[in-house]
Amino acid sequence: MIPLQYELLLSAMLLCIGLYGVLARRNGIIVLMSIEIILNASILNFVAFSSYSGDASGQVFALLGIAVAAAEAAVGLAVFLSIYQTHGTIELDKVRFLKW
Amino acid sequence: MIAYEWVVWFILLLPLGAFLVIGLVGRRLPEGGGTIAVGAMTGSFVLSMYVFIQVLQQGGLGGGFIPQTIPGYVWIPSLLPETSIKISLLIDNLSSLMLVLVSFLCLLIFVYSLGYMHEEDGKARYYAEVSLFATGMLGTVSADNFLQLLIFWEIMGLCSYLLIGFWYSKPEAAAAAKKAFLVTRVGDVLFLVGVLVIWNVFGTLSFSEIQGKMASLYPNTLTPQLLTLIPLLLFGGAVGKSAQFPLHAWLPDAMEGPTTVSALIHAATMVKAGVYLTARAFIFLVPLSSAIQPPFTAILVIAAIGGFTTLFAATMAVVNFDIKRVLAFSTISQLAYMFLGLGAGAYTMATEVSRGEAVDSAGYSAALYHLFNHAFFKALLFLGAGSVIHAVHTNDMREMGGLSKPLPITSKAMLFGGLALAGILPFSGFFSKGEILSVTFDAGAANPGFYWLWALGVGTAFLTAFYTFRLWFMTFHGEYRGHDHPHESPRVMTAPLIILAGFTLASGLLAYPMGGFGNLIFSGAPAAGLPLVGIPVQDYLLEGVSMGVAVLGLALAWAVYATKRIPAERFTASRGGAFIHRMLTKRYWIDDAYDAFGRTVVYDAARALDWFDRKVIDGIVNGVGRGGVVVAGGSDQFDRRVIDGAVNAVSLETVRTSLRLRQRQTGQVQSYAWVVVLGIVVVIALVFGLSFLQRWLGGLGR
C-alpha cells in the first residue's frame, strides 16, 4: 500500500504543473489540457483519501469529477474551435475581445 | 278650506312666468310682450277673486274663516321638522283681500301702460320688470313666514330700483334709482336683523307658530326688551319701504320713473308692503295673553312716527309744483296716517289686553281700510297725472291749467280721486281717514299723547284737502299756460281711470254690505261696526271735525288758486312766511343733509377704509407673498445645491470609479487566472496563518 503522503505529493505536483500550464502557456489547447491536469489532481486526492479512510464515497465523487471533466473538455474544445473559425487563432494573448 | 288650493300658487307663478317669457323673448313680441303681462295679471286677478270668494263663503265676514297654510316645499330642511324653513302660502282674510287688491290694481295699471308706454323704447324691459314687481308684492302679502316675506320684499326693492331708473340714460333717474335702493336698504337691514332675532328667540319664522309660542317663551327667552326690540326692527323695515320719516327721502325722487311705475309703487305695491308688515307685526305688539306685558314703547314709536310724518310730508306737498311730487308727498302723508292708525289701535288693544278686557281692533281695521281705499284713489290720481303728462309733456303744474276742457274724462276722474284723498263724504277717504282720526282720539284716553297726534292728523286733513285741490285747480281750472295742444288720452288709458273713479266711491261704501270693514279685516276678534253707524256720538263729532277741516282746506284752495281772491304771494310776503316757504321747498334741508352726510362722512370713511385696504391689508398680503417668495428661493437653493449636489456627487463618483475599474477588465483570460490563483494563495495563507496563530495563542495559555 502506497503511503498517503506520496499520493498527496503527486497530486500537488500535478496541480503545480497544471497551474503553470494555465498561467504561462499561450496556446488555448495547452491551457485546456492544463485545466484537465488540475482537475485530475483533485480527483487523485479524492481517490487517495477514499482508500486511506476506507470510504467508497470518495471514489463516487472521483467518477463524477471525471464525467464533469469530460463535459468541460467538450465545451472548451467547442469554444476554441468557434474562436479559431472567427479569429483565426487560439493564442490567448490575441484572444482579448471580451473587454471594455 | 280652499278647494283646489294649489291654484293659489298660480297667483304668484303667472306673473313670474310672464316675467321670464317677456324677459327672454319680449323684444320680439308685439307691444314688448305687454299683452302677456296683462294676460298673466288677469289670470292672477281671477284666481285671487276665486280665493277671496271662497274665504267669504266660508265665513270670512265675522271671523268664521280659519286661516289656512298652503304647504309648498321645504326650502332648508332641518333635523327637527318644526325648525325647517318652508316656502308656503298663508291664506287668511287679510292676505286674500290684499291679493285681490294688488292683482286688480296691477291689472289696471298694466292695461293703462299699454297706452302710456306705447311710444317708449325698452317696453319689453318695462313689462318684464313690472311683472316681477307684481310677483314680489303678491308674494309679500301671501307669505306664511317672515323670511319668505323678506325675500319677496327684496324682490320688490330690486324692481323699484330697476323701474325708477327705467330711463337710465337720464342722470336724475339713475340717481333717484340709487337713492331709492340705498335709502330703503337701511330699513331692509333692520328688517333682516329683526328676522334673525325672531329666529333666535322663537326658532321659527311662521306667523302662526310665533303666536303660539309667545306665551310659553315669555318672559325668560322672550324678555320684555326683546319684545320691544323685535317690532321696532320690523317697523324699521317698514319705515324704509313705506318712506316714513326719517327714510322718506327716496319717494319724491322716485318720480323720475314712468308715471305708471309711480302708480304701481304708490298704490298697489312697495310702500303698502311696509304697512302690511307692521300689521303682521301685531302678533308682537298685541299679545293674546294678558300675562304678557305689551311693548307700549314700540307702539308709541310707531304712532309718533306716523303722526309726525303725516303732517311733515303734507307741508312739503303744499309748495311743490311737480304734479307727481305733490302726489308722492301725499302718499307719504297718507301712509303715515295708516301707521298712526295702527299705532293708536295697537295702543288701545294692548291696554285692553293688559287689563283683561275684550279687544277692539278698530285701529287695525281702520288703518288697513285706509290702505285699501288709498290704493284705489292714489292709483287713480297717479294714472290721471300720467294722462295729464301724456297730454302736455311736462310735470310742472305752472305750465298747465284749464285742462278740464281738452281732458274731460281725466279731469273728472281726478276730481273723484281728489275728493277721496281730501276725505269728503261720500268718497272712500272720508270713511277710513275719519276712522283713523277717531281711533287716535279714543286712544288719548289711555295715553294723552295721542291727543297731540290727533291734532297733527287733523292739521294734515286740512293740508291734504288744500294741496289736493291746489293741484286740481292749477291743472284743470283757469287758462292753459303751456304751449302744447293737449288732447284726451286713448281709451286704453281712460278706461282704467273710469273704473278707478267708480272705486273711489265703491271702496268706501263697500263697508256697508260687509257690515263694516272691521268685520272682514281684524286682529283678534271681528268688530262689526259700520262706519258712522252704531258708534258713539263723540265719533260722529270727530268724523265731522276731520271733514270740516277738509272742507276748509278745499275752500282755501278754491280761494287761492281758482278765484284768486287771496293771492298766493300773500303767504310768502312776510319774512317768516318766505322762510317757511323756502324751508318747505328745500324739504326741510333733510335731503341736503343726507347728501352732505354722504359726501363728507360716508365718503371720508370710504376713503379711510380704502387707504386701510390698500396700505394695511394689501401690505400684509403682499408681505406674506414676498415672504413666500424668499422662503421658496431659499428652499430652491437648498434643493439645487444640497439635495441635487448630493445626488449628483454620488452618481459622478460612481461613474468615475467605474471608469477606472473597467480598465482592469482587459480581456486577457490568463490575467484573470492569475487573480484567481493569487486569491487562492491568500485564502490558504489566511487559513494556515489563523490556525497557526490559534495554536500559538493556545500554547501560551497552557
Q: Residue B671 carries which side chain, given as an amino acid letter?
A: S
Which pLDDT belongs to residue B528?
Answer: 59
Give the chain B residue nearest A97 (alpha carbons): B667
Cell numbers of B172, please? Answer: 336724475
Residue B448 DSSP one-character state: T
Across B12-47, b (16+ Cβ under 10 Å) vs e yields bbbbbbbbebbbeebeebebbbbbbbbebbebbbbb
Residue B73 DSSP one-character state: E
Q: Is the pLDDT of residue B533 over 60?
A: no
Q: Which residues of A touch B677 (CB under 8 A)?
A: 19, 23
User: What's the predicted TM-score (pTM) here?
Assistant: 0.74
| Alpha-helical segments (H) within B3-92 | 7-25, 34-57
- Among B570, B572, B303, B334, smallest CA distance to B464 is for B334
Q: Determine contact: A95 vs chain B, CB below 8 A.
A: yes
Q: Is the pLDDT of residue B584 over 50?
A: yes
- Among B350, B369, B360, B241, smallest CA distance to B303 is for B350
**By the 8 A CB rule, do B112 and B130 touch?**
no
Q: Is the pLDDT of residue B536 over 60?
A: no
Instruction: Give the pLDDT confidence of B240-259 residue by residue, as tens digits.
Output: 888 888 888 888 888 888 88
The Cα–Cα gap between B191 and B247 comes to 14
- Written as tens digits, the pLDDT of chain A (100 aa) is 788 899 999 999 999 999 999 988 888 899 999 999 999 999 999 999 998 888 889 999 999 999 999 999 999 999 999 989 988 888 888 887 777 6
Q: Is the pLDDT of residue B671 over 90?
A: no
Which pLDDT belongs to residue B184?
Answer: 87
Residues belonging to chain A: 100
Cβ–Cβ of B666/A92 closer than 8 Å? no
Instruction: Give the pLDDT confidence of B84-102 residue by residue, as tens digits.
Output: 888 888 888 888 889 999 9
Instruction: Give the pLDDT confidence of B384-415 residue by residue, as tens digits.
Output: 888 888 888 888 888 887 788 888 888 888 88
Domain ranges of chain A: 27-87
Q: Which of B662, B666, B673 sits opposite A23 (nearest CB)?
A: B673
Q: Give the rounded percent of residues in chain B with a pLDDT score beyond 90.
A: 11
Which pLDDT belongs to residue B217?
Answer: 79
**By the 8 A CB rule, do B87 and B128 touch?**
no
Q: Which of B667, B673, B677 sits opposite A98 (nearest CB)?
A: B667
Q: Is the dihedral of CA B559, B561, B563, B568 positive or negative?
A: positive
Which pLDDT belongs to residue B537?
Answer: 55
Q: What is the CATH number of domain A27-87?
A: 1.10.287.3510
- Among B208, B196, B180, B177, smallest CA distance to B71 is for B208
Which pLDDT belongs to residue B554?
Answer: 81
Who has greater pLDDT, B151 or B80? Answer: B151
The Cα–Cα gap between B222 and B287 comes to 12
The Cα–Cα gap between B634 and B638 comes to 6
Q: Which residues of B touch A97 (CB under 8 A)?
A: 667
Which pLDDT belongs to residue B531?
Answer: 54
Mean pLDDT estimate for chain B: 84
pLDDT confidence tier of residue B627, bands split at 50, 70 and 90:
very high
Cβ–Cβ of B667/A97 closer than 8 Å? yes
For cell 308715471, the residue is B259
In chain A, % helix, strand, coil (3-state, to 5) comes to 80, 0, 20
Which pLDDT belongs to residue A100?
Answer: 62
- Among B462, B464, B471, smallest CA distance to B552 is for B462
Mean pLDDT of B37-45: 91
DSSP of B401-413, one letter per residue? --TTTT-HHHHHH
Instruction: Give the pLDDT confidence of B161-186 residue by residue, as tens digits.
Output: 888 888 888 888 888 888 888 888 88
Mean pLDDT of B570-589: 75
- Among B144, B128, B165, smallest CA distance to B210 is for B144
Who has greater pLDDT, B515 or B265? Answer: B265
Cβ–Cβ of A96/B677 closer than 8 Å? no
The Cα–Cα gap between A79 and A81 comes to 5
